[in-house]
A and B are shown apart, each in its own frame.
Chain A
Amino acid sequence: MEAHMLPPASSIKRWLLTTNHKDIGILYLVTAIYFLVVGGALSLLFRLQLADPSLNVLPPQAYNQAITIHGLVMVLFVVSPLAFALANYVVPLQIGARDLAFPRLNALSYWLYLFAGILVVVSFFQERTLDVGWTLYQPLAAGFTPYVGVNTGGLGLGLLTASVTVSTINFVVTIFRSRAPGVRLTALPMFTMTILLTVLMMLYAFPALLAGIIMLASDRVLGTVYFTSNQGGAILWDHIFWFFGHPEVYIVLFPALGVMADILVTFSRRPLFGRRYILAAMVIVATLSFLVWGHHMFLTGIHPDIRRAFTVTTIAISLPFDAIILSFIYTLSKSKIHLRTPMLFTLGSIAIFIIGGITGVFLGSIALDYVLRGTYFVVAHFHYTMAGGALVGLIAGVYYWYPKMTGRMFSEALGRIHFVLAMIGFNLLYFPMFLAWEMPRRVPVYAEYLAPLNQLATVGGFIFGGSFLVMFWNLLYSLRHGEPAGDNPWNAPTLEWLTRSPPPPHNFDGTPALVDGRFTFLAANGAGHHSHETHLSPWPFMLSLASMVVLLGLTTHIAISLGGLVLLAASILGFARERFVSHEPQLGERWPFERVDRMKLAWWTFLASEIVLFGVLLSAYIYVRSATPSWPAPGTLFDIWHGAVNTFILLTSSFTLVLAIAASRMGSRAGTLGFLGATMALGVAFLLNKYGEWTELFSHGVNFSTSIVSTSFFLTTGVHGAHVTAGLLALAYLISRALKGAYVREGHETLEYFGYYWHFVDIVWVFIFPLFYLI
């Protein structure tokens, strides 16, 4: 089978090797539904436990694991992946692209997600999994859960951040650089616009989670004391987690808002009222989302000024949401509404979200939060917004785009039955929780007088869960027996409806363009179709599988990890050496990156996330230092000359690298090789110096666990050292290619891209040196 031809959908090979965005979207959809069943089943188990305080359905330790994994799975493995299932399928169609900018990376992000989820599921079978609540509060998660399953689950979360980062880069580059002619950013359909804002939020939020997971893993495995010391501890974790965690809730919500907006336009047959104000509101929310996290910490004893500031920003962030919802309502008010299933779910989602949003304003008040924090009022609030606003909104999207994906219509009657059951079940499940506001969350027992409310909630939970069975049956049955859908069964205005259902592999017959507000096609008869583009690759699957094996071996048997490392190295090499052909459209809108090629944009997007990763790590250092009354004077613990020598080494290596790139441009093979070799030698010298420094410290009894001083030093310089090591491995590959004549006159861009990374690693050290050695 040639790599530019897709095998039939009945072939397993197709699904293992595909890089086509539509296939990836379906893979995400099926996997997200699987995790929905896992998370849902867990919730029904603990709802049974909560049906009566005297019950013993789940022993306390099992209860803790159930609520923790339910939360993690729903937030990270269900709702966002469901959004990206739709995004993968629909966004390239909406912007007129043939695929995402980097099809193999797209497949990689899916397989990393799947294997990350498998690690979390495997952790259930390793004595005990994560059981500290989805927020992993400290010092509980670092110091009081010595179970290997907790490590496996944590490693799964780390692998997921890799998946997210890869996906983020792909969507940023795609939406900015693969739009059809005429599709300006302000003309994007709302769903694609919300995906753009979502991935930008992910870009800056997920690295904070990764930093936290690295620190937590280090505490658990290496014995560092970030979260078990008085200087770091619970509040440091809270800051790091919620700096990620609050943008995360908008990352979960925004795609659903975009789905709802597109559906409102279609089924009210009028443009979105105040579209530009909705866009502005969403940009404001996306920005403010990074400045409200402290409202999760009102009861932690942090400075009153900071609590007041976070109250202001939290109330402020509710205002643009008012604008968005009012625009939705006004769009509906003057239109003839077509109450088809997607519209029903959209309207239900809006109504539910309003309740959730209003209750969020209550929680944004410090005074009210003192009473309501950690109670079922909070549980109800975030389920009304996340499950009601986000999940129900995305369900609307599944129904909306189902005809496009399958070419079949689902049963409208069953869709309406699902809607009615879902609304009844949802509200019966979660509304009583507002009334049970005196009940603390995460505890399996409660006062007897709260039993009727809990019983209502349990019944509602089973109705809500059962409603999904109607949906699954409807969609599965309709795959074979549904009425043919045609290209545009909804008479929708966006571009994805102007191609076949399901679309051909190359999406459009011709190059779409938006001219005078209407879509047209610039070339007919497949002129836009590059038949020699590649659609299959085994390396995303292999690389992801190898990553999982490496991580699994760390908590089972080290030999497994070693085998996984060999497989990983081979997969990375295979990925790098594969001749994968994917073309960027020649015509299109690229503002504001017209002069930036897609690889350059991808690298800088990646580096933007690395800035946050190291920013959080260095901030954590400054934080613990601020919290430590007596810190060793500079030069007394860490040898300044080790640090100074390494500074000169890295600065020189950056210099030799730019000279290598200049030599490459001038066509000098000797110069290119010479300066690349010098860069490699300097990098190795850096690591050797670092090794000498560390062994010297160990010999003086200064190790990972000695104090917060040594913890912060070893962790920060260790993560930096790992980045240097990764860079040197990549450099070794580049040198091997240069030895065969690559990068002489042509191909210097590859060295330049590597340079962005290497110089960034240098910049990080430029700050590490003074912070750890001189101040």
Chain B
Amino acid sequence: MAPRISTYVAVFGALVAMTVLELLIFGQPLPRIVIDLSIIGLAGGKAVLIALFFQHLAYEPRSLSSLALLGLGGAVAFLVLSVYSIVGVLFA
């Protein structure tokens, strides 16, 4: 099963809007951490939209997403543990 063309248009519109929002937030006089987290959050949101609607994962069995999510989990574990291993030491 595939989404309707109107769904694709809506998703594309959302992706463009979220990118514009990233650029707008970037230039705001907000705390750096707020800007960074907002931008990363928007990036994550865009990735989810692409995966669900352009790659059609929203219409596929969970087993298929699980393959991808396991890889993502591994990458996140690597990121967290490797960065923590030095950050605490460098800035102790």
Contact = CB atoms under 8 A, between A and B. Distances in A.
B78 A619 contact: yes
A623 B83 contact: yes
Interface residues of B, number: 48
B64 interface: yes
B30 interface: no
Contacts of A647: 19
Nearest to A619: B79
B63 A596 contact: yes
Interface in B64-88: 64, 67-68, 70-72, 74-79, 81-88
**Contact count band on A:** 35 or more
B82 to A, nearest CB: 4
A658 B54 contact: yes
**A interface secondary structure, majority:** helix
A203 B60 CA distance: 21
B68 A651 contact: no
A243 B71 CA distance: 13
A764 B47 CA distance: 8
A476 to B, nearest CB: 42
Interface in A579-638: 592-596, 600-601, 604-605, 607-609, 611-612, 614-616, 618-619, 622-623, 626-627, 634
Contact of B88 (A291, A303, A604, A651): A303
Contacts of A654: 12, 50, 54
A345 interface: no
Contact of B43 (A203, A622, A766): A766
A611 B39 contact: no
A609 B78 contact: no
A698 interface: no
Interface string A203-244: 110001000000000000000000000000001100100010
A626 B54 contact: no
A294 B85 CA distance: 9
B16 A235 contact: no
Contacts of B60: 595-596
Given A604-B64, A763-B51, A662 B85 contact: no
Nearest to B71: A611
Nearest to B68: A608
Contacts of B50: 654, 759, 762-763, 766
Contacts of A770: 22, 39-40, 42-43
Contacts of B86: 235, 302-303, 623, 626-627
B83 to A, nearest CB: 5
A601 B63 CA distance: 10
Contacts of B43: 766-767, 769-770
A766 B54 CA distance: 14
Interface string A740-775: 000000000000100110011011001101110011
B8 A306 contact: no
Nearest to B76: A615
A376 to B, nearest CB: 27
B47 A608 contact: no
A2 interface: no
A659 interface: yes
B79 A622 contact: yes
Given A303-B89, A596-B60, A651-B16, A759 B55 contact: yes
A701 B61 CA distance: 50
A662 B8 contact: yes
A766 B5 CA distance: 22
Given A611-B68, A760-B55, A775 B39 contact: yes
A623 B40 CA distance: 16
A301 interface: yes
A662 B88 contact: no
A622 B83 contact: yes
Most buried by A among B22, B51, B54: B54
B68 A662 contact: no
A774 B26 contact: yes
Given A301-B89, A644-B23, A601 B8 contact: no
B15 interface: yes
Most buried by B among A657, A665, A774: A774
A309 interface: yes
A520 to B, nearest CB: 29
B92 to A, nearest CB: 8
Given A204-B74, A608-B70, A615-B78, A306 B5 contact: no
Interface in B1-47: 2, 5, 8, 12, 15-16, 19, 22-23, 26, 35-36, 39-40, 42-43, 46-47
B86 to A, nearest CB: 6
Given A615-B71, A623-B82, A759-B54, 10 more contacts: A290-B74, A302-B86, A303-B86, A306-B81, A611-B68, A612-B74, A618-B75, A665-B2, A759-B51, A763-B47
24 contacts: A200-B70, A294-B81, A294-B85, A303-B89, A592-B61, A595-B61, A607-B67, A609-B71, A611-B68, A611-B72, A614-B75, A615-B71, A615-B74, A619-B83, A623-B82, A627-B90, A634-B26, A651-B19, A654-B54, A661-B2, A665-B2, A755-B55, A759-B50, A769-B43
Interface of B: 2, 5, 8, 12, 15-16, 19, 22-23, 26, 35-36, 39-40, 42-43, 46-47, 50-51, 54-56, 60-61, 63-64, 67-68, 70-72, 74-79, 81-90
